[in-house]
Homo-oligomer: A and B are copies of this chain.
């Protein structure tokens, strides 16, 4: 064991391929269905929304997909990202565990989202598209697509969930600084938005509604496509650069992870970190426990149903087989805006059903307590989303303290909180609740499954 704190890779170690876990699974995930025919959707159904290259990646059976040189060029602005050993946190916890975190906050917008925003913008630009639309919750994804669009000369229009638009003015400014246009969602610009506003003029919005708005706009204009920041296979594919780098960094450290934890909103940062390790596990080379962590207020994996459901509220998307709380479900406005989504990536849902990963839900107070502890020891204030992973990390490290086990724990620190600081103010002032999801609310929303 070396005593280093930071594991950096050289630019030449930047992965040149993304990893597709699907061919390595014992069975393939169920396909998306057309809501009318309930038949599997084909490329033509998706063409109004996505460029051909991404549609191809969505269904590819190749284990590895080449990363275009133009994308690598932009990745190099911040990648490879560092892997840290959290020695100061370990000491503060008095644990024999070794805690490692892969830090994606070094990206232009402070999270893992540009890993997929950049290739999405690239493929759209390459196919002559002029404008991208998208939704954003926490604002991380909207910022990422704004940055990526600026890079490849695309216009970018973002529907930002109203609650976050109002609470997080800094995110909007960041998107505008990168040249994007930002609308609060629900908005009057779309039929989907107007329908919501008619029933609930004060609606604070949800990711599901914002997706409907962005999809509607893209479908209506042949020069415009839609970009999704999580959930889909191609998004998880792009995020595997995280795990591929982490594998190299663990080799550098001369260590092997026993436990891998990550937070799951739509599943992309978690899948991105975990899939390359899952490949090694399926090949019998390592045997880590892999654990997804979600908020108690929006527990799609642990309390949702595994069923076909829409990806958005208005029902404009194909039906996806996933763990879902129901597409009508509007989660409480917890501070981890990026985890407020009713569904979970179909690929991750499938892998969970196969028993290859575990899941648990955590209340937000425990998460922020872990976040503050982390900030005061490691110096990075974690975004509200990855505080969920850190809370699970702390749980594991404290178990190791009791049992004396010297486990190596790896977590995805998928973003910093610079633009989410009001959440910490609420926590420090004792103004934060755990927003548990009542059984009755869940039952009602599941009753609306298609």
Contact = CB atoms under 8 A, between A and B. Distances in A.
B418 A372 contact: no
A168 B74 CA distance: 31
A289 interface: no
Contact of A379 (B78, B88, B424): B78
Given A177-B421, A418-B418, A418-B419, A76 B379 contact: no
A164 to B, nearest CB: 15
A39 to B, nearest CB: 42
Contacts of A61: none
A253 interface: no
Interface in A230-250: none
A379 B147 contact: yes
Contact of A425 (B173, B378, B425): B173
Contacts of A372: 177
A168 to B, nearest CB: 10
Contact of A380 (B108, B170, B173): B108
A427 to B, nearest CB: 9
A177 B11 CA distance: 34
B150 A376 contact: yes
Nearest to A428: B176
A211 to B, nearest CB: 26
A176 B430 CA distance: 13
Chain A: interface size category? 35 or more
Given A170-B421, A176-B425, A421-B174, A379 B108 contact: yes
Contacts of A179: 376
A444 to B, nearest CB: 37
Interface in A113-167: 114, 147, 150-151
Contact of A424 (B4, B173, B428): B173
| Protomer copies | 2
A177 B376 CA distance: 8
A83 B238 CA distance: 26
A77 interface: yes
Contacts of A183: none
Nearest to A368: B177
A10 B8 contact: yes
A106 B84 CA distance: 14
Contact of A77 (B5, B8, B173, B425): B5
A178 to B, nearest CB: 6
A77 B105 CA distance: 14
A169 B421 CA distance: 9
Contacts of A170: 170, 418-419, 421-422
A23 to B, nearest CB: 33
A77 B82 CA distance: 11
A8 B5 contact: no
Given A106-B106, A419-B418, A177 B8 contact: no
A375 interface: yes
Given A6-B11, A421-B170, A178 B376 contact: yes
A61 to B, nearest CB: 33
A4 B11 contact: yes
A381 interface: yes
Interface in A364-400: 372, 375-376, 378-381
Interface of A: 4-6, 8, 10-11, 74, 76-78, 84, 88, 106-108, 110, 114, 147, 150-151, 169-170, 173-174, 176-179, 372, 375-376, 378-381, 418-419, 421-422, 424-425, 428
- In order of increasing CB-CB distance, the 9 nearest A-B pairs are A108-B379, A418-B418, A173-B421, A150-B376, A173-B425, A170-B421, A177-B424, A5-B76, A77-B379
12 contacts: A5-B76, A6-B11, A8-B10, A74-B379, A77-B88, A77-B378, A108-B380, A169-B422, A177-B376, A177-B424, A178-B375, A419-B421
